[in-house]
Amino acid sequence: MKVCIAGGGRVGRYLAQSLLANRHEIVIIEPVESQCRMLADTLDIPVICGDSISMDTLRTADVASCDAFVAVTGSDEDNLVACQIAKREFGVDRTVARASNPKNRELLHTLGVDTVVCGTDNLSHILEREIETDTIRQLLSLGGGTASLNEILLPENFLYAGKAIMDIPIPGDTILISITRDTEFIIPHGSTILLPWDHILCLTRDDSLHELTEAWGLSDK
C-alpha cells in the first residue's frame, strides 16, 4: 500500500518507520527543511519539503497515487484541510487525521475525515486506566478507543457483596459478560449474586467504565 504522511514530526516519523517495517511505500510531507533532511537521511524514503495544505506540494508528493493519506501535524485545522484536499482533489480513498484536541475527534469525522485518531485522548485514557485502580484491567480496546473489554476484580470489601445484580447500580453502557469465581464460570443474570474476589468480564463505553468504578466504589482504595 502507498501511504502519504503529512507532518514529519515525532508522530509522523514513528508512523513511517512502522509502516516501512510492514513493507508499505511511504512519502512524507514536512515544511521544515532541516527536519526534511533528517528524515531523508534516516528513513531513506522520499520527503517532500512543503506545506501540507498546498495543492502544489500534494501534487509533487503524487498524493493521487496513494491508497491512504495520513495527516499528523500539530495543527488540527491543517490536518482537516490536508485530508479534505487529498480526498476531494486527489481522490484518495482513505484519509486519517490526528486530532490534538479531543473535542475535534468527532468534529473532523463529521467534516469528512474517514478516521480520526486522538493521541491526547488515547494516551489520557490509557493513563487514566493505569492510574485509576489495579482492580480493573483493560483487555481489549474497541470502537476506535471509545469502548473496552475489561476484567474487574471485586475487592474484599466490595460495596455490594452478596447482592443480586438487579439490585446493584450498573450505570450507562455496560454489559456484564461473565463471572469467574475460583474455578466456577458463571454467565450472569439479574438474580446472580456478586461476591468478593469475583473476576467480572464486562464491556463498557469509556465514560461508563468511569461511572461504574465510581458507583461500585472501586476507585477509592
Among 80, 136, 152, 215, binds other proteins (CB under 8 A): 80
How many CB atoms are closer than 10 A to CB 93? 11
Q: Strand pairing partners for 30?
A: 49
Q: Cα(109)–Cα(201) distance, rounded to whole angstroms?
A: 31
Among 18, 65, 101, 124, binds other proteins (CB under 8 A): 101
What grid cell was written down for 166?
438487579
What grid cell was written down for 98?
490526528
Of 52, 94, 55, 99, nearest to 74 (Cα)?
A: 99
Among 29, 47, 53, 68, binds other proteins (CB under 8 A): 53
The answer to whether the beta carbons of residues 100 and 68 sit under 8 Å apart is no
Under the binding rule (CB under 8 A), the answer on residue 103 touching other proteins is: yes
Binding segment for other proteins among 28-36, 51-59, 139-147, 162-170 (CB under 8 A)? 51-59
Under the binding rule (CB under 8 A), the answer on residue 67 touching other proteins is: no
Min CB(127)–other proteins separation in Å: 23
Under the binding rule (CB under 8 A), the answer on residue 55 touching other proteins is: yes
Under the binding rule (CB under 8 A), the answer on residue 107 touching other proteins is: yes
Min CB(208)–other proteins separation in Å: 23
Binding segment for other proteins among 16-24, 76-84, 133-141, 180-188 (CB under 8 A)? 76-84
With cell 491512504, the residue in question is 68
Under the binding rule (CB under 8 A), the answer on residue 54 touching other proteins is: yes
Q: Cα(19)–Cα(35) distance, rounded to whole angstroms?
A: 19
**Coarse DSSP helix, strand, coil percentages of the chain, rounded to the nearest 5 percent:** 35, 25, 35
Q: Strand pairing partners for 73?
A: none
Q: Is the Cα torsion angle 194, 200, 204, 209 positive or negative in sign?
A: positive
Under the binding rule (CB under 8 A), the answer on residue 93 touching other proteins is: no
Q: Where are the beta strands (DSSP E) in 50-110?
A: 68-71, 94-98
Min CB(66)–other proteins separation in Å: 18
The answer to whether the beta carbons of residues 27 and 61 sit under 8 Å apart is yes
Under the binding rule (CB under 8 A), the answer on residue 77 touching other proteins is: yes
Among 47, 48, 61, 84, binds other proteins (CB under 8 A): 84
Of 111 and 168, which has the nearer Cβ to other proteins?
A: 111
The binding site for other proteins (CB under 8 A) comprises 53-56, 75-78, 80-81, 84-85, 88-89, 101, 103-104, 107, 110-111
